[in-house]
Amino acid sequence: MPNGVRTARRRWLLLTPALVILLFAATGPLLIVLVYSFLTPGDYGGVVWTFSTDAWFNVVVERDFFDDTLSFADAHLSIFWRSVKLSLVTTLVAFIVGFPTAYFIATRPRETRDMWMLLIMVPFWTNLLIRTFAVMEIIRNEGVINTGLIQLGIIDAPIQMLFTEFAVTLGMVYVYLPLMVLPIYASMERMDFSLIEAGYDLYASRWRILRKVIFPLVKPGVVAGSILVFVPALGAYVTPRVLGGGKQLMLGNLIELQFGQGRNWPLGAALSISLLAIVMVALFVYVRSAGTQEGRHD
């Protein structure tokens, strides 16, 4: 047997466990969700094995239950848009906070960097729900901030922060920040800082060095960090619910409603696939645009 063939075969053999896991643990459940989205809802949850496209129809179109006119499902659309908007804002704020943080850590002496990284990591080891409740404890009406301000005599009555958009954004950024800091730090740590010195020697301004030297070098980290924050933020469920007071549904909550009290599993499945599609399109566009800009530099 030629050596090349044997190597190729061994490579496939070694890949098999990973492929099997991917096939059964990722593709399999996804296929079930896809199939369910084309079935009829069971009377009390579950599905009936009758083919139907109603669920997909209902994702985008709604029949007015008072006069039977068809219109755009603007309830679903506005919930989709709210989730996308929140994810974008979360990603942006996480970047604005995360980039300087990563820069700060990367410019510390080598011995202390691990300590700073540990400080970023420790909250991440804590359960998501507990971190969310911690944020709630800080901003609630009898929470740390309000009690402190009242005792200092700065305000008379507590400021309503919990159950506002501010609370949701704050919670989301806090929860996903490490996912932004880690990849940026990873590319910054490998960065050759003598390039920055070279920039200064050539009389570049600080802003110019940031834009033309640092940013292009750490861009892969920024791209990775943005994806890592944006994708889970889009499906976020617990944080908006706990900090937002449940008044406004996010995509994750809308899907949960269909599988729970709404008893419409096919609609829930169709909405889930739609979410997946949005993520894929967003990633595609993002990676493509990031790629072309990269090309311009080369």
Shortest Å, Cβ 79 to other proteins: 6
- What is the distance between the alpha carbons of residues 267 and 97, in angstroms, rounded to a whole number? 38
Question: Burial, 138: exposed, middle or buried (Cβ in 10 Å; 0-12, 13-18, 19+)?
Answer: middle
Residue 201 vs residues 195, 208, 283, 297: alpha-carbon distances, Å: 10, 13, 38, 21
Shortest Å, Cβ 132 to other proteins: 13
Shortest Å, Cβ 226 to other proteins: 27
Closer to other proteins by CB, 79 or 93: give it: 79
- What is the distance between the alpha carbons of residues 159 and 114, in angstroms, rounded to a whole number? 38
Range 89-124 burial, b when 16+ CB lie within 10 A, else e: bbbebbbeebbebbbebbeeeeeeeeebbeebeeee
253's tokens: 């909550």
- What is the distance between the alpha carbons of residues 29 and 23, in angstroms, rounded to a whole number? 9
Residue from 37, 55, 59, 76 touching other proteins (CB under 8 A): that is 76
CB 265 within 8 A of CB 46: yes
Select from 115-123, 209-217, 232-240, 252-260 the region that touches other proteins (CB under 8 A). 252-260
Residue from 89, 220, 238, 248 touching other proteins (CB under 8 A): that is 248
Q: Is 259 in the site for other proteins (CB under 8 A)?
A: yes
Closer to other proteins by CB, 80 or 176: give it: 80
Residue from 257, 276, 279, 290 touching other proteins (CB under 8 A): that is 257
Residue 72 parent element (H or E): strand 70-72
Q: Is 112 in the site for other proteins (CB under 8 A)?
A: no
Residue from 7, 27, 53, 78 touching other proteins (CB under 8 A): that is 78
Q: Is 43 in the site for other proteins (CB under 8 A)?
A: yes
Residue from 169, 258, 272, 274 touching other proteins (CB under 8 A): that is 258
Tell me phi and psi for residue 53, to 5 degrees: -105, 10
Q: Is 117 in the site for other proteins (CB under 8 A)?
A: no
Closer to other proteins by CB, 44 or 49: give it: 44
Q: Which of residues 129-188 bind other proteins (CB under 8 A)?
A: 140-142, 160, 162-163
List residues binding other proteins (CB under 8 A): 41, 43-46, 62, 65-66, 74-76, 78-79, 140-142, 160, 162-163, 245-249, 253-254, 257-264
